[in-house]
Amino acid sequence: MYRFHPIGCIHSGFPEKFGIPRQAGLVPEATAVLELFAPYGRAETLAGLETFSHLWVVFVFHAHLKRSWHPTVRPPRLGGNRRIGLFASRSAFRPNPIGMSAVRLAGIRQAGNRAEIEIGGGDFLDGTPVLDIKPYLPYADAIAEATGGYAAAAPPRLPVAFSPEAEAACRRIDDGSLKDLIAGVLANDPRPAYDGKRDAKTVYGMRIRDLDVHWRVSEGRVTVVSVAAFPPVDKPSTNGLAP
Amino acid sequence: MYRFHPIGCIHSGFPEKFGIPRQAGLVPEATAVLELFAPYGRAETLAGLETFSHLWVVFVFHAHLKRSWHPTVRPPRLGGNRRIGLFASRSAFRPNPIGMSAVRLAGIRQAGNRAEIEIGGGDFLDGTPVLDIKPYLPYADAIAEATGGYAAAAPPRLPVAFSPEAEAACRRIDDGSLKDLIAGVLANDPRPAYDGKRDAKTVYGMRIRDLDVHWRVSEGRVTVVSVAAFPPVDKPSTNGLAP
């Protein structure tokens, strides 16, 4: 038995599991802040990290700690109805729920014994506990000849359009980065793969930051229906499916 | 605080830290066996893993558990005399001593609730406890545009020659793979970077499997002096420096 403790945590703007990018790097617009607690965030421990373009984040799938693992899983990439072995997947339900993601290093803010590292392309639930960060070493980690079974290439991205109301709501909040983030997330089609109800009328909902985002998918195109402050008065979000 | 338990361990043929490849992939000849304990090694958990060319091994730096971490380290790649921040390094001395290595998947032997996975290119101490294995996903893990600070490229490999005695000793053991392994390990120049005594007369020693290997380095060329069963009667190995 080994005991590990968090050296930091991630502020990602994804408060719910539903909709989070399924691998690091799929949504470059998904920026996050990795907070290093004292004493791990002191300037000395980070000296030289800024010379790397990417870093590994080793973390705990903290929302999965209480659920046990199953020998097989149904990855979304296989349509959600074919089972493969747990160790042939990157599922969060593992005997030791440790995750690792390669992310872009966008900036480092350091003060006293703490630091905030800006990262891009993350796939983290808000509040994710961090166990370690390591530089991404291209010569050891980027294996050009690797081939990847059922998941050799990134999934296709869907085109994303915004309703006039959703577009206006984004514009009231900032000058474009929120809209880019929503478009990046939904282009990866976060709908549950095993959802039998998939049709053009189904409205899906997810939370991004403190917002409730609703969309539908028709003929391979995503349309963002609404972007509104969460919680809305009359429509609580229910695990991805809007009521 | 999080508790994790080993799901397996690695049989690497490197019984001592000195001489182990400094990153995964540097010595393709370094094959190892990753043993998955029951129940983790059952056939179901591995179904589909064989379709991937590479996998990640998440492990514990178990020889480093009792030593505390220091905010800075002196990586061998910088000559061993320049300090950088711990988190800008892949040093084993970390607040949470978790390692990760991308290795080639060479084969899977499965029986009952246990399995043995043959891997290539590892950088593991014999007996390393394994916390997780995951498929290497090229689209998420192989970041072609990543740049790597002080360690952008693999270190240069030195040419390796064998003395007639060392060559004969290898030939008595097998038909070439031992010699290839020794050559691959020593081409990466495992001498301590901070060793002030570096000269052509110094003989270094390391253990590979149950053998004691001695070599010297002169004008950028490695010569393997001897390969003998360990422990030899009259010359105990002392932390890399032969007596």
Please write the tens of the pLDDT for every residue from B178-194: 999 999 999 999 988 76
Which residue of chain B comes nearest to A105, CA vs CA? B146
Whether B4 and A1 lie within 8 Å, measured CB to CB: yes
List CB contacts (< 8 A) between B28 and chain A. Answer: none
Mean pLDDT of all residues in B41-63: 96
> What distance in Å separates residue B58's CA from the closest CA in chain A?
9
The pLDDT value recorded for residue A243 is 41
Please write the tens of the pLDDT for every residue from A162-215: 999 999 999 999 988 999 999 999 999 998 876 666 788 899 999 999 999 999
ipTM of the complex: 0.91
Rounded CA gap, B87 and A40, in Å? 9
Query: Which of A51-55, A120-124, B76-80, B135-139 shows the lowest mean pLDDT across its residues?
Result: B76-80
Q: What are the residue ranges spanned by the domains of chain B? A: 8-141, 160-229
Whether A58 and B100 lie within 8 Å, measured CB to CB: yes
The pLDDT value recorded for residue A155 is 85
Please write the tens of the pLDDT for every residue from A73-92: 998 888 778 899 999 999 99
Please write the tens of the pLDDT for every residue from A7-59: 999 999 999 999 999 899 999 999 999 999 999 999 999 999 999 999 999 99
Is A125's pLDDT higher than 80?
yes
> What distance in Å separates residue B236's CA from the closest CA in chain A?
33
The pLDDT value recorded for residue B188 is 92
- Assign a CATH topology to domain A8-141: Elongation Factor Tu (Ef-tu); domain 3 (2.40.30)
- Assign a CATH topology to domain B160-229: YaeB-like fold (3.30.2310)
Whether A100 and B24 lie within 8 Å, measured CB to CB: no
Is A236's pLDDT higher than 90?
no
Please write the tens of the pLDDT for every residue from B81-104: 889 999 999 999 999 999 999 999
Give A4's pLDDT tier (boundaries 50, 70, 90): very high
Whether B139 and A132 lie within 8 Å, measured CB to CB: no
- Backbone φ and ψ of A132, nearest 5°: -165, 155
Whole-number average pLDDT of chain B: 91
Which residue of chain A comes nearest to B94, CA vs CA? A132
List CB contacts (< 8 A) between A25 and chain B. Answer: 139-140, 143
The pLDDT value recorded for residue B92 is 94
Whether B48 and A85 lie within 8 Å, measured CB to CB: yes
DSSP string for chain B: -EEE--SEEEE-S--SSTT--SSTTS-TT-EEEEEEPTTTTSHHHHTTGGGBSEEEEEEE-GGGTTSPP-SEE--GGGTTSS-EEGGGS--S--SS-EEEEEEEEEEEEEETTEEEEEEES----TTPEEEEEEE--HHHH--TT--BGGGSSPPPPPPEEE-HHHHHHHHHH-SSHHHHHHHHHHHT--S-TT-TT-STT--EEEEETTEEEEEEEETTEEEEEEEEESS-SS---BTTB--
